[in-house]
Amino acid sequence: MNAYVITADRIATMTKAEGYGLIMGGAIVVDGAQMAWVGPLEALPASYAALPRRDFGPRTITPALIDCHTHLVYGGNRAGEFEMRLTGATYEEIARAGGGIISTVTATRTASEAALLAAALPRLDALIAQGVGVVEVKSGYGLDLDTELKMLRTARALGAARAVRVLTTFLGAHAVPDCMAADSYIDTICIPALRAAHAQGLVDAVDGFCEGIGFTPAQIARVFDVARALGLPVKLHAEQLSAFGGTALAAQYRALSADHVEYASADDAAALAAAGTVAVLLPGAFYTIRETQIPPIAAFRAHGVPMAVATDWNPGSSPLGSILLAMNMACTLFRLTPAEALAGTTRHAARALGLTDCGQIAANMRADLAIWDVTSPAELAYGIAVTPLHARIFGGVL
C-alpha cells in the first residue's frame, strides 16, 4: 500500500490526559496500516511533501471509535420484558421470574450459527456506520459448552466478514441455568467451556457477572484463577445493581476493566486506580432499567481512574445500537464532559480491551480514523439520533 497524507481543519488526537489534543490545520501521514507522522500541515517533513494528499477541509478527524462492551451475538429479543418494565416490574423481578438472561439463552441455544451471524451483522454494521473500528463481543447466552463456543465462533466470523477488529470475551459466568446450583455450574460447565474455548483460540479475555442474581465474588474468583492460569486477562460486570464486592475483586485481579459500577464506592475507585483498571460506564443499561444510582464519577476523577464508555448492546438491559448516543447519555446522565466521553470511546476504551495500538492519533499507531462532518469534536456527544460520519479509514484503507 502506498503512503499518503490526509489533512483537515482539525484533528482530535486524543493523546492528552485532558481535552481533545487538537491540532488545527493538521496532517496525518498514513503508511500502510499505520500512521507515520502527525502534526500541523505547515510542519510536514520534506520527505513526505510529494506524497498524494486527500484534504477533508472543514471536517474533524478523530481516532476510529471503540465499543469496548457489547453482547452483539444473541437469538431473539426481549421486547416483551420492555413492556413488563413499563408496568412496574424490575430487572431483578423479571430475571427471577424466568426472563432476563435466561430467556435469551433459550433463543440463542436454538439458533443456528448461520442465523446468529445473520442477526449480528446488521448490529455490527450500525456501529461501523458510526465510525467504530474496534468492537468487543461477549458470549454468555449459551450457559452450556456447545452454545458458548458457537457464540464465540460467530463473533470471530463477524470480524472476518467486515473491516473491523472484533475482540471476543468469554462470559460463561453470566447467569445460573435453571435447575442447577451456581457452584456446580461453575465447576462442570463454565470452567470446562472456558478451557475448550481457549484451546480453540476463541477467547481474548474472560468476564463474569458478579451480582446477587449472578455469581458471588468467590465463584467468579474460581473462573478468574483459571483465566490467569491460561494467560487470559479478565474484566467484570461489577456493582451494577448493588454493592456486592465485584469492583474490589476486579482490582484484586488487576482486571482490564470493571463495567457498570453504579454502586461502586470511593474506596472502590481508589482500588481501581491502584490496579490500573478502567471503569467502563454503560449509560444505556442505566437508562433502560431506570436505575437511579449514578456511578461515582467524582471519585473516579479524583483518583485518576480512566473512564470508558460503551453501548452494552444486548437484547434486555441495553438494546442500544449507537455509540454516539452512549456518549451523549454519559454526558447527560453521568455528567461527563464531551472530551471525557470521546476519550471514553477512544483512548480509554482501547485500554479497557488491553489494546495499545489504537484509540489515539499518533505515529506508529494503527491508521484507524473517523472523519466527521462537524466543526468541533464536542458535537459528537452533543447530537441525538444523528450520525455525522463522513468517512472511515480502517488499517489505512479509506
Regarding whether 59 and 72 lie in a shared domain, the answer is no
Regarding whether 72 and 23 lie in a shared domain, the answer is no
Regarding whether 270 and 165 lie in a shared domain, the answer is yes
Regarding whether 242 and 368 lie in a shared domain, the answer is no
Regarding whether 204 and 184 lie in a shared domain, the answer is yes
The CATH number covering residue 232 comes to 3.20.20.140
The CATH number covering residue 50 comes to 2.30.40.10
Question: What per-residue confidence (pLDDT) applies to 1?
Answer: 57
Q: Alpha-carbon torsion 354, 357, 361, 367, what sign?
A: negative
Regarding whether 248 and 174 lie in a shared domain, the answer is yes
**Residue 40 host element (H or E):** strand 34-40
Regarding whether 232 and 201 lie in a shared domain, the answer is yes
Regarding whether 319 and 342 lie in a shared domain, the answer is yes
Structural domain count, the chain: 2
Q: In angstroms, how far is CA 360 from the centroid of its own chain?
A: 16
Regarding whether 381 and 340 lie in a shared domain, the answer is no
Domain contains 123? yes
Regarding whether 369 and 343 lie in a shared domain, the answer is no
Contact between 208 and 143 (Cβ < 8 Å): no
Regarding whether 41 and 136 lie in a shared domain, the answer is no
pTM of the model: 0.97
> Angle 189-191-194 (CA atoms, 0-180°, nearest 5)?
105
> The domain containing residue 40 runs over which residues?
4-63+361-393
Over its C-alpha atoms, the chain yields an Rg (Å, rounded) of 21
Question: What per-residue confidence (pLDDT) applies to 260?
Answer: 98
Domain contains 155? yes
Contact between 175 and 143 (Cβ < 8 Å): yes
Domain contains 398? no
Question: Tens place of pLDDT for every residue, the chain, 398 residues?
Answer: 589 999 999 999 999 999 999 999 999 999 999 999 999 999 999 999 999 999 999 999 999 999 999 999 999 999 888 888 888 888 778 877 777 788 899 999 999 999 999 999 999 999 999 999 999 999 999 999 999 999 999 999 999 999 999 999 999 999 999 889 999 999 999 999 999 999 999 999 999 999 999 999 999 999 999 999 999 999 999 999 999 999 999 999 999 999 999 999 999 999 999 999 999 999 999 999 899 999 999 999 999 999 999 999 999 999 999 999 999 999 999 999 999 999 999 999 999 999 999 999 999 999 999 999 999 999 999 999 999 999 999 999 99
- How far apart CA 177 and CA 172 sit, in angstroms, is 11
- Sheet of 165-173: strand order equals 65-67, 132-138, 165-173, 205-210, 235-238, 257-260, 278-281, 307-309
Regarding whether 348 and 204 lie in a shared domain, the answer is yes
